[in-house]
Amino acid sequence: MYKINFEKPVHVHFIGIGGISMSGLAKVLLKEGFTISGSDNKRSALTEQLEGAGATIFYGQKASNIIEGIDVVVYTAAIHADNEEYKAAVDKGLYMLKRSQLLGQLMRNYDIPIAVSGTHGKTTTTSMLTHILLAADTDPTISVGGILNAIGGNIRVGNSEIFVTEACEYTNSFLEFFPKISIVLNIDEDHLDFFKDLEDIRRSFRRFAELLPADGFLVINGDIENLDGIINGLSCKVITYGTDTALDYSAVNISHNELGNASFDLIKKGDFIKQITLSVNGDHNVSNALAALAVADLLDISVEESAEGLKKFRGTKRRFEYKGEVNGITIIDDYAHHPTEIRASLMAARHYPHREIWCIFQPHTYTRTKALFHEFVDALSYTDHIILADIYAARETDTLGISSEDIAKSLCESGMDAYYLPSFEKIEAFCLEKCKKGDMLITMGAGDVVNIGDALLKQ
């Protein structure tokens, strides 16, 4: 496999350079002196940033984009063998790297590569850890799967030996990584278009944990079921966190202020360390903060600096993000698209000032909707009113005989005030008619449901 060497910059071409992760990798290489080109289907803020930094961007994926001088081509899982740009690169005999392989290669250029994994919470935890590292003046390099104001985007290139990135389990991409410290936040049933079942997912996380060297560290949620199956026999040091004070790190006396933001007492090996105050809400974020605190402690960052960093973290875009108000209605947007995430976000919303909670949910992929149908119905019952938008197909085309209307019907049968509406325009008009002053309206999902809130705020 081709190996990226910061000491020998070459010309790297990205097919799909406008994605949140691909653009971040391109930015890292640009700042390390590499020549960067790439293609994407359309112009965006991310592609314009790259052009401004010196990258050559082609719009539309064509064979002619594979120009002379390219040394290696990077592509995403969304690029298939019949893609004409991909085929042109293969025909020219160029080195080919998957996005995950490039990310793994980048890790080899740092002494302390940190990988944040888990079915949920990767972006938030990576962002929390980023705030801690910045508060401690460690000058890290960061690759985060969202837009974080503290670093002015999705990437930060530092000058220290610390490199932090999210590590996604989908298509086993995180098995291409070379971490020294890994976090496992949770292991739930998801991505069933790739994995067979939960046990298959657990096997993948076990293999991810086995990547750590003997002098490495696994920071893992001690509340994960059948934890021993993940950690027994590992050569690395295992550090646990969670709700039980018998774990290495835990939180007690959790409380929420008038905005729903959480505070808790940090406990290390049974001893009180410090009260930690967050500027984000939800008990799930207390858990995420514990993971970040554990890693910070490994890096010898003081708890005072960690507490300062966490208090400054006010969330990332599309993670329970306050968007504004219209007619006295508070608009929140949230990326949650798995039942566990939905339940956590809706429970967190209860601590936020509101009269009643309206949730507009857009399911993400037919496969996930069909496989976790009953779990979706249960999770969506944690709101006062629920509106279902059509399923966002993403990479899929087969409907599998499932629809958003099926979820709405099942919720109605359970006594919920649930609706299915076939277009964003109808949903917007319905919300303006039904929502009252003091209500909270949450747009929720990993697709383009965010556009509904944006449209309402323009009314």
What is the set of active-site residues? 122-123, 166
Distance from C-alpha of 238 to C-alpha of 378, rounded to nearest angstrom: 34
User: Interhelix angle for 303-312 vs 122-135, to 10°?
Assistant: 120
Amino acid at 297: D
Beta-strand runs (E) in 7-157: 11-15, 35-40, 56-59, 72-75, 95-98, 112-117, 141-148, 153-156
Residue position matching structure tokens 């835990």: 250
With residue 321 as reference, give the H or E element that holds it: strand 321-326
Beta strands 95-98 and 72-75 are: parallel
Q: Which structure tokens are listed for 367?
A: 């496969």
Distance from C-alpha of 404 to C-alpha of 448, rounded to nearest angstrom: 15
Q: How many residues does the chain have?
A: 459
Residue position matching structure tokens 């940033």: 49
Distance from C-alpha of 85 to C-alpha of 60, rounded to nearest angstrom: 9
Q: Which structure tokens are listed for 239?
A: 């550090």
Distance from C-alpha of 335 to C-alpha of 345, rounded to nearest angstrom: 9
Distance from C-alpha of 105 to C-alpha of 25, rounded to nearest angstrom: 11
- Name the residue among 348, 309, 314 with its Cα closest to residue 444: 348
Distance from C-alpha of 99 to C-alpha of 74, rounded to nearest angstrom: 6
Distance from C-alpha of 73 to C-alpha of 11, rounded to nearest angstrom: 9
Cβ proximity of 381 and 350 under 8 Å? no
Instruction: Write out the DSSP string of 207-235.
Output: HHHHTS-TT-EEEEETTSTTTHHHHTT-S
Q: Which structure tokens are listed for 157?
A: 């290139």
DSSP state of 126: H
Assign 295 to helix, strand or coil.
helix
Q: Which structure tokens are listed for 446?
A: 């990993």
